[in-house]
Amino acid sequence: MISTLPPAVIFIAGAVFVPIFRGRGKLLYLLALPVIAGMDLVYLPTGQSSATTFLDYSLIFCRVDRLSLAFGYVFVLIAFIGTIYSLHVKDNLQHMAALCYAGGALGVTFSGDLFSLYLFWEIMALASVVLLLARRTEDSRKAAFRYFMWHFFGGLCLLAGIILFVITRGTTEFNYIGLTDSASLMIFIGFCLNAAVFPFHAWLPDAYPRATVTGAVFMSALTTKSAVYILARTFPGNDILLWAGAFMTCFPIFYAVIVNDMRRVLAYSLINQVGFMVCGIGIGSQLAINGVVAHAFCHIIYKALLFMSTGAVLHMTGKIRGTDLGGLYKTMPFTAVCCMVGAASISAFPLFSGFVSKSLTVAAVAESHHVIVWFMLLFASAGVFHHAGIKVPFFVFFGHDSGIRSKEPPINMRIAMGMAAFICIFLGVYPAPLYQILPYPVDFHPYTAFHVVGMLQLLMFGALAFTMLILSGFYPAEQRAVNLDTDWFIRLPGRAFVRFCHKPLQAIAEVATGWAKSTVAAFKSAPSRSVEIEKRMDWIFHTLLVGLPERVSQVVQPLKTEKSELSWNVTYILIPFILLLLAILFVFK
């Protein structure tokens, strides 16, 4: 049945055939896939349809309703824009990974049961690891490993939760889950890790700035937002999410002010923006969920635009640190304008897309009378303009003249940025099409005089603070440094554990091996006075005992080699995981 072809399958199956195309054919093929998936989405019948079965449970690849469709549209749209942006890339692996990644996100969006959800969840994780590795630097290789460990942990939590869920409830189909037992808690942790909820957020600013220029565009759009979708479906109205989201909007902006790598600034502001969505999920009213979907839609486009314009700078100049850049508007005016459109959108300037979407969430918070959360969101709104809205364009394209005079990026990059910038402005000016695809009917008018003036005051006086602090020299200067985050609590103990395995455990293994070998040698050179005894003991010594140390040494010896480092690291993620699992089971039983 062609009418229920899951869009995820188009991307993932399509990715397999990328290497057989050459030249222009490949460009057309890459562009055709998102277009076909988009047409498929339009004709997808609403409701559920089961694709196949697994262990007596049906796998549902197409659960189509207004919530999943809205996310489906934007994922296909950003896959199209991201593909245009990466058309100049010659590396087939990157194209295939990006397509699989988009397919994974769409699969998560339309999966109606937990098994297929888990399948696409892991496809997404693996594909995004490839986008990190594809940069082919030592730095990105290590970051990919850490990223993999984080998501491996999250995936294990999710898997454990799913298994418990299936055992306790006897079904794999899911809709609203709610935080009630250990199964839902494990699933919750798995989802929250992908949504970069504190304290599981540190993978994001660690990995995204180290991805390829084009890979970061896909990464900024897919992983966190598919998690937002799944949280909105399974845990709406959860108080933990309300407060976690409010906290997520605030703490990253402090980091964003002090970090130097511009793509890391954007990574922190990504957490801040996802915080608005998580907060909206925490409220869970119809207005709030509308706000979440609208904000996710706009956010994917403008965040991708920001990653594209900073990525274009990295592509053309090879530099991305604030300390190395400045004054680029002189020769890259188009990129500068696109970056500023993205910056205005993320800051929720009137007439830009962020304004029409963020207002919904903030209004939902105000309606539910969460005063503290409301103040936190307002603080975050001012703060996001401060770092993503002003800092990124200012330090890259204006500020002090770095002397760099690079050309505009290739034409495909400019087209992709132009498209994203157009969507940002179009939705900001005319939000009706966006409001039409939201899950619930919308009765909201963002453009009231009071709201426009209030928002402008908030932003412009934030800008005044920036101007005064820059002119007075009090603004924290860009510095090359590492800024610690919650991953410190993982990376240092993790390293200590690996060192423990390498040094003390290895020393014990070596002593044992040496002792075993000398014992064997002593027995073999002994005088043959007790031949009879030896004959009797022969079987014990030569077959059993003599063989044993050599067996042990055979097992222990390879641990010294570089290759086995992975097994230790897997162990070190598994041990805390098992402890956590036991703790949760203990608490809830």
Partner 1 sequence: MRPKKELTFLDSKKNQLRVRTYFYVSLVVLLIVDFFLHKHVHFSWENAPCFYAVYGFVACVSLIFVAKLLRLLVKRRENYYD
Interacting residue ranges for partner 1, rule: CB under 8 A: 253-255, 257-258, 329-331, 333, 363, 366-367, 369, 371, 374, 378-379, 382-383, 386, 398, 405-408, 448-450, 453-467, 469, 474-476, 479-485, 491
Query: Which one-letter DSSP state was computed for residue 21?
Result: -
Nearest to 294 by CA among 354, 357, 241, 250: 357
What are the Cα distances from residue 501, in Å, to 143, 175, 498, 508, 515? 22, 44, 5, 10, 20
Closer Cβ to partner 1, 76 or 388, answer by number: 388
Structure token pair of residue 71: 């996310």
Smallest distance, Å, CB 386 to partner 1? 5
Q: Residue 227: CB partners within 8 Å, gap ≥ 6? A: 191, 192, 193, 194, 195, 196
Smallest distance, Å, CB 469 to partner 1? 6
Smallest distance, Å, CB 299 to partner 1? 21
Structure token pair of residue 440: 């619930």
Closer Cβ to partner 1, 470 or 579, answer by number: 470
Closer Cβ to partner 1, 176 or 254, answer by number: 254
Smallest distance, Å, CB 398 to partner 1? 7
Closer Cβ to partner 1, 22 or 407, answer by number: 407
Angstrom distance (rounded) from CA 358 to CA 385: 13
Smallest distance, Å, CB 269 to partner 1? 13
Structure token pair of residue 432: 């009706």
Nearest to 272 by CA among 302, 230, 311: 302
Closer Cβ to partner 1, 74 or 362, answer by number: 362
Closer Cβ to partner 1, 85 or 385, answer by number: 385
Smallest distance, Å, CB 394 to partner 1? 11
Q: What pairs with residue 57 in β-bridges?
A: 54
Closer Cβ to partner 1, 173 or 408, answer by number: 408
Query: Which one-letter DSSP state was computed for residue 473?
Result: T
Smallest distance, Å, CB 443 to partner 1? 15
Smallest distance, Å, CB 392 to partner 1? 15
Closer Cβ to partner 1, 297 or 572, answer by number: 572
DSSP string, 191-228: HHHHTT-TTTTTHHHHHGGGS-HHHHHHHHHHHHHHHH
Smallest distance, Å, CB 345 to partner 1? 18
Smallest distance, Å, CB 158 to partner 1? 28
Nearest to 203 by CA among 224, 184, 225, 226: 224
Angstrom distance (rounded) from CA 302 to CA 288: 20
Angstrom distance (rounded) from CA 278 to CA 229: 10
For residues 390 and 344, is the Cβ–Cβ distance under 8 A? no
Q: What pairs with residue 173 in β-bridges?
A: 113
Angstrom distance (rounded) from CA 63 to CA 45: 9
Structure token pair of residue 374: 């409301």
Smallest distance, Å, CB 387 to partner 1? 8
Smallest distance, Å, CB 373 to partner 1? 12
3-state secondary structure of 135: coil
3-state secondary structure of 52: strand
Nearest to 323 by CA among 235, 397, 260, 386: 260
Smallest distance, Å, CB 355 to partner 1? 14
Smallest distance, Å, CB 371 to partner 1? 7
Q: Residue 11: CB partners within 8 Å, gap ≥ 6? A: 33, 34, 37, 79, 99, 100, 102, 103, 106
Place of tokens 């299936």: 166
Closer Cβ to partner 1, 225 or 386, answer by number: 386
Q: What pairs with residue 47 in β-bridges?
A: 64
Closer Cβ to partner 1, 154 or 389, answer by number: 389
Closer Cβ to partner 1, 367 or 550, answer by number: 367
Closer Cβ to partner 1, 113 or 478, answer by number: 478
Element (H, E) at 18: none
The radius of gyration of the chain's CA atoms, rounded to the nearest angstrom, is 27
Closer Cβ to partner 1, 171 or 467, answer by number: 467
Q: What pairs with residue 261 in β-bridges?
A: 321
Angstrom distance (rounded) from CA 128 to CA 148: 9
Residue 557: half-sphere exposure toward Cβ, Cα within 13 Å: 10
Smallest distance, Å, CB 271 to partner 1? 15
Structure token pair of residue 465: 């603070």
Question: Alpha-carbon dihedral of residues 464, 467, 472, 475, nearest 10 degrees?
Answer: 100
Closer Cβ to partner 1, 81 or 362, answer by number: 362
Q: What pairs with residue 59 in β-bridges?
A: 52
Q: Cis peptide leading into 549, omega within 30 of 0?
A: no
Closer Cβ to partner 1, 65 or 408, answer by number: 408
